[in-house]
Amino acid sequence: MSKSAIHTTRYIVTEGPIGVGKTSLTTLFADELGARLILEQAEENPFLSDFYRDSARYRFQTQMFFLLNRYQQQEEMVQPDLFTRITISDYLFAKDRIFAYLNLNDHELALYEQIYKMLEPKIVRPDLVIFLQADTDTLLKRIRQRGRPFEKEINRDYIAAVNEAYNQFFFHYSETPLLVINTSDIDFVHRREDLDDLLKQIMSMKQGTQYYVPKGKR
């Protein structure tokens, strides 16, 4: 797949709820396009496993670590080759607010918003966002299969709430071109034809929101 086919699209972001497969797809895309790969560093958050055990106690520390860590990573990303080489990331900076509004109380959220609004204007906007969807049971199955230690305490109610919050966020999203992909019935990791078809649709993306329809359902 030629990089020139992307035309002016230089910065692509893959997003979606926990367990949807965004890191796997982002890595595959980067390999196919010879792109620079930016991966979220969730494992580096020292509060995350505690958060899944006791969210009320650790929610603010967890959220602030994510916000500042993501911001630092975005700052490091803004180098001259961002504009001459394709860059693909497995997270959108704005998604930090999805979790903030889901987890923080009003007082914590007020402080969070002050800090977020100081950081957000410095973030580079992507040329394309790919939103991956799946039903909650599929997300839970994938989370269990990958077996990350810090996710062992995660429960279904929380995943369902995250899933709904993502759907609401992207239902109203209009900041960039958006490709919505329901991954419940496709396997881009193990079926080459699924990956090729996804890549083809990405290459043909224009403005606005488009919904991916699997090849077998067209």
Determine the Cα–Cα distance for residues 33 and 217; give it in Å rounded to an integer.
Answer: 26
Alpha carbon separation from 26 to 3, 66, 190, 202 (Å, rounded):
15, 20, 14, 12
Q: Which residues are known to be catalytic? A: 90
Determine the Cα–Cα distance for residues 203 and 103; give it in Å rounded to an integer.
Answer: 36
Closest among 197, 139, 201, 198 to 166, alpha carbons compared: 139
Contacts of 28 (CB under 8 A, 6+ apart): 188, 189, 195
